[in-house]
Amino acid sequence: MIKSAKQFYVPKLVIITLIMAMFIQTAIFKQYAPYDDDDHFLNHLSLIQIFTLITLLTITLLTLHILRKPRTIYLVDFACFKPPSGLRVPYAKALEHAHVILASQPKSVAFVDKMIERSGLGEETCLPDPLHYIPPNPCMLEARDESESVIFSAMDSLFQQTGVNPKDIDILIVNCSLFAPNPSLSAMVVNKFKMRSNIKSYNLSGMGCSAGLISIDLVKHLLQVHPESYAVVISTEIITPNSYRGKERSMLLPNILFRMGGAAILLTNKRSQHKHAKYSLLHVVRTHKGPEDKSYRCVSQEEDKEGNVGIALNLDLMAIAANSLKSNITTIAPLVLPVTEQLMFVVNLLGRKVFKFDLKPYIPNFKKAFNHFCIHAGGRAVIDEIQKHLKLSSEDVEASRMTLHRFGNTSSSSLWYELGYVEAKGRMKKGDKVWQIGFGSGFKCNSAVWECNREIEATKNGAWADCIHRYPIN
């Protein structure tokens, strides 16, 4: 209550005080002025009086500017869920399940074999316990158990790393696309950690693998109007109730790629956190291709002919993703690229569109703007396409490939496993800029740009702690 009153009244009191000071000073000036004529008043003010008046005006304008200036959003720290080793799904086990469950569909079995071999996933990716049974045994209770295991573990790690008390959290956002129970996942978190009754809680569903960056964008706007606040974003995807049990090839692929995972991220607008927080948020750019029917339908949850529910992936998915990225780049490039790159892009565009020269489109060198790239680990083909489109090196996409290999496609949380990989390798330096790129159904392409505030040493904690020494691998 005190905090709310402070947020509401202090800025207004500052403005009112300054305005009153201006009127009082003006009245004093006028009282001692040799003339009562308003037209000659300013002509007879002393230099000290003019200086005082200008100072008051300057202070007033600066105060108004500071109050209107967007607050810097700081990422204090984040924690990624590390599945227990008992839930691993090595190649042999995945193939065995495919051969048993799809025994009457040899072509589907051959398809699964081929996709697993080409997937880019390693031997340590994990699935929740119900999906280890033959046949799988998903139910609401098991889905709740997976939610609690992933989210509570990540939250415990976050609070331990930061020392922040759950009751200090002012804003909570949970994003999970396919599992939307009642009470919501955000309510589950509030109950578990006994958070305050006036916490601002949000639960996002149905927004695909890019929902994590949508949550960051939502937090950014909320923190602009709630000063001196802490916010937690939880990004996850609950796999238990969403395993496809049919034989349609376009719907079998998500079974191969998606794995357990989740991340909890602590953000704030407290200026006192500038030296302690890991990153500052520079930009969030969201691109939505939903108006285009082809883009809208390229990833969808639906039933097959036999009534089995699953996620269908359209063959045009890679082309649509590339087109969405182009639109996103058009917006973000002027915000981050140096002037030389922007000029080359504009000259190329004019040459092709205005003068009709036979030129290839100029792809800006984003390595002049960013030190690290975190591309959504949606699959090997996604990473390949983005690497080719942005002309990135193998080292630039290393974090994405290694995250896919070690943890699989963990949906919206994959970007945080990738950032964790860069940190675990000891590559993050003060002043480095990070570009996170997420893709999701709808179809959406979202970007976030972060700047590192301090040197980040490789730690022995986190999801990568026990395996980082083995990476990168071919």
Q: Are strands 262-268 and 73-80 parallel, antiparallel or unpaired?
A: antiparallel
CA distances from 90 to 82, 116, 273, 432, 468 (A): 16, 10, 42, 36, 19
pLDDT tens profile 135-158: 888 889 999 999 999 999 999 999
- pTM of this prediction? 0.85
Read off the pLDDT of residues 64-110 as tens digits, 9 standing for 90 and up.
656 567 889 999 999 999 999 999 999 989 888 888 888 778 888 88
Q: How far is CA 425 from CA 125, 227, 458, in A?
A: 20, 34, 6
- Provide the residue ranges of all domains of the chain, joining segments of one domain with +: 2-68, 73-470
Q: Would residue 209 show up in a list of annotated catalytic residues for this protein?
A: yes
Catalytic residue among 97, 372, 445, 452: 372
Q: Which of 405, 445, 446, 453 is catalytic?
A: 405
**Residues 175, 242, 269, 409: which is the catalytic one?**
409
pLDDT tens digits, 423-444? 999 999 999 999 999 999 989 9
DSSP 361: P
Question: How many Å from the N-terminal Cα to the C-terminal Cα in the chain?
Answer: 56
Bridge partners for 281 per DSSP: 73, 450
Check pLDDT > 50 for residue 5: no
* Whether 141 contacts 149, CB under 8 Å: no
The predicted structure's pLDDT at residue 374: 97
Give whole-number Cα distances, 25 to 12, 21, 28, 79, 400, in Å: 20, 6, 5, 55, 62
Out of 175, 255, 269, 288, pick the active-site residue.
288
What is the architecture of the domain spanning 73-470? 3-Layer(aba) Sandwich (3.40)
* Per-residue model confidence (pLDDT) at position 10: 47
Strands 279-288 and 73-80: antiparallel
How far is the C-alpha of 263 from the C-alpha of 278, rounded, in Å? 16
> Does the active-site annotation cover 175?
no
- CA atoms within 13 Å, Cβ hemisphere of 192: 17
Question: What residues pair up with 310 in beta bridges, in sequence order?
Answer: 302
Average pLDDT of the chain is 87
DSSP code for 43: G
User: Residue 127 and residue 17: Cα distance in Å, rounded?
Assistant: 61
Strand ranges in 248-394 using DSSP code E only, listed in sequence order: 262-268, 279-288, 299-303, 309-313, 372-375
Kindly state the helix (H) or strand (E) to which residue 232 belongs, with its residue range: strand 230-236
**Catalytic one among 176, 376, 446, 452?**
376
**Closest to 116 (Cα-Cα) out of 253, 311, 260:** 253
The per-residue pLDDT for range 6-61, each reduced to its tens digit, is 444 445 555 555 565 555 555 555 555 554 555 555 555 555 556 666 776 777 67
